[in-house]
Chain A
Amino acid sequence: MPKKSEQYQIIFFNVGNVLLFYPIILLIPTIFAFFFPFEWMHILAFIISSAVSLGLGIFLKKISKLESSPTVTVREGAVIVLFTWLSVVLIGSIPFVLIEHLTFSQAVFEATSGFTTTGLTMFQDVEHASKLILVWRSLMQFIGGAGFALIMMGSVIGPKGFGMYHAEGRVDNIAPNIKRSARIISLIYVVYAVIGVISLNIAGMPLFDAFNHSLTALATGGFSVKNASIGQYNNLNIEIVTMILMFMGGTGFGVHYALWRGNFKALVRNGEPWLMISTIFITTLIITLNGLGKIFTNFSEGFRQAIFQTTSALTGTGFSTVDLSNPLWINFGVAMFILTSLMLAGGGMDSTAGGLKQYRIWVTIKVVLHSIKEFLLPSRSVTKVAVWKGQNRNFVSYEDIKEILIVFSMYFSTFFVGSIILSLYGYSLTESMFEFSSAMNGVGLSVGITSSTMPLGAMWTLTIAMFAGRLEFLVIIYALSKLFIDLYDKIKKSKL
């Protein structure tokens, strides 16, 4: 284990490294100034943000005094991830302040919502927002969906960044070399995005809209360039393509890789896609049948609306084709509760989706069934629970079950506390639970609590929920406790 001072050198070095490369992403929206020449003066905002990032990056690398990074363990990884995300969100919010004149809190909310692939927005009227800002929002989600560790490992740090990768809540290692895994995942991601743009365009969406929606659907983000989200097009083809993209985004990269390799044997044994598909169909049927006559006039219309909202909720995207803030929907208890729980359940492990993750639920189901089986078998029989994940078959250990228990309890306790905080601001219980679940699990469906005029306390509650939910709570708790303990030690030493 490296010494304390070395650990912090590694931390500064790697955060500096990310900030040094961040301007490349920050400058991409400026390319769009060629297509929208009347916005050329907005380039300045992105250049200023890049300069800030570059300056900070160089400064951090300088004080780290390192030439190249030693191996990052999970211990430093947690702190690196926390600082990286904080600085990236803060710098990423600068364009919102400069171009759209949002307040500091609003800009941070928007940037957090972007990078955590949530999709709750401060903009009441996105259609009149700057085009560069719209591109920037989509891009934030696309990058946030992949995660910084992945990008850095595939390009700069290589295998030494594995600790960071873990800390960002990913476990997939699809090739026997993490650098290659990172590159394969990035390739799959980008190829899907390109296919998404083309097919949305064919389905009838203008190119600019298709570009933005493809990025945000695949990242399961949910920022839209239309005020009424996907519903504004009222086009069945677009809805189907978007649903497929959301589902792809909500499926783990290990599963995609098995598909690409043509390993169908492993593919059908993966529980996650089956669980996702069956959940979507069952809940859709319940909502449709229950809403007939109340909200939907006929079955096909109800099915079309219900399946889009459930897919959007489960994959954590947050596109909508109906206005959920309509009192008709808010008072539709069954739908509201199902959507809230779907958001909590979330998409696949190692996907861009948030929530508890289907893999954990699948393991839980398997363990429950196993304990029943164990009860019926002779008392001395030895059995194991096997679960397929990507191309690998894993045996569930007590460590895994412990991890699942911790994650479940963190999610639920945060969910309860957060919903209570929101209802303290006077929102109804249904609304509070829905909106908090949406923020915490990176979904972005809204019943109307989120707006630029909402109370500051509620706004920051949601911001923190989005941030903590994306990094799966534990990393933040680990990182903060490490920082506090180190600080405490330092103070105690200097007193002696």
Chain B
Amino acid sequence: MRNKSKDNLYLVIIGCGKVGANVASRASSIGHNVVVIDKNEKAFENLTVEFTGFTIFGDATEKDVLMEAKIDRADYVFVLTEDDNTNFLISMACKYYFAVKKVIARVYEPDNIQLFREYDVEVISPTVLAIDKLSDFVVGDYK
């Protein structure tokens, strides 16, 4: 019954903050299968009315919670909690325990990025993005 085309992906989003909730809502509104995990029940209020996926209330560092989300079948996992260490632990679990192909983690501390990359986790760093964007105003193309 599962359809592997581009317009029907299975996404698991861990951390339902502003970023997680908005990505989840947008993906849900165009028809993807979306599951959101957060250990704070109030966080699900960030989701907009467009969100029609599942929410799982629990700690994603626990294996049972990831299992409940059927994470092994996910096409993408976005790891978006507020703590780099937590993100690393969850990414490792997804990548090496559940064999998820695409794990994308948010990393705040630029020094940690290398570590994530070494373990084959894609990184998105708001800190680096902000640094680059702001530097553009004054430094120009400094490479």
Chain A interfacial positions (CB closer than 8 Å to B): 71, 73-74, 158-160, 162-163, 173, 175-180, 184
Contact = CB atoms under 8 A, between A and B. Distances in A.
Contact of A159 (B1, B10, B50): B50
A71 B31 contact: no
Q: Determine which residue in B33, B50, B52 has the highest number of CB atoms from chain A within 10 A of its CB, and name it.
A: B52
Interface of B: 1, 8, 10, 28-35, 48-50, 52-54
B41 to A, nearest CB: 10
Contacts of A158: 31
A481 B135 CA distance: 55
A176 B34 contact: yes
A115 B52 CA distance: 27
B33 A176 contact: yes
A71 B28 CA distance: 12
A162 B1 CA distance: 22
Contact of B52 (A73, A74, A162): A162
Nearest to B10: A176
B31 A162 contact: no
Top 10 A-B pairs, shortest CB-CB distance: A178-B52, A177-B33, A176-B53, A176-B33, A176-B54, A162-B52, A159-B52, A71-B50, A176-B35, A73-B49
Contacts of B30: 159
B28 A159 contact: yes
Chain B interface main SS type: loop
A361 B50 CA distance: 30
Contact of A177 (B48, B49, B53): B53
A464 B34 CA distance: 40
Contact of B54 (A74, A159, A173): A173
A177 B52 CA distance: 6
A177 B50 contact: no
A180 B32 CA distance: 9
A201 B136 CA distance: 76
Contact of A179 (B10, B31, B48, B50): B31
A457 to B, nearest CB: 41
A14 B105 CA distance: 39
Given A73-B49, A176-B35, A184-B1, A160 B29 contact: yes
Given A176-B10, A176-B54, A177-B34, 18 more contacts: A74-B49, A159-B31, A159-B52, A160-B50, A162-B49, A162-B52, A173-B52, A173-B54, A175-B33, A176-B34, A176-B35, A177-B31, A177-B33, A177-B53, A179-B31, A180-B8, A180-B33, A184-B1
Nearest to A182: B52
Given A71-B49, A71-B50, A173-B54, A159 B29 contact: yes
A382 B107 CA distance: 37
B74 to A, nearest CB: 10
Contacts of A176: 10, 33-35, 53-54
14 contacts: A71-B50, A73-B49, A159-B52, A162-B52, A163-B49, A176-B10, A176-B33, A177-B28, A177-B31, A177-B32, A177-B33, A177-B34, A177-B52, A180-B33
A180 B28 CA distance: 11
Nearest to A73: B49
A158 to B, nearest CB: 6
A160 B31 CA distance: 9
A175 B33 CA distance: 8
B98 to A, nearest CB: 17
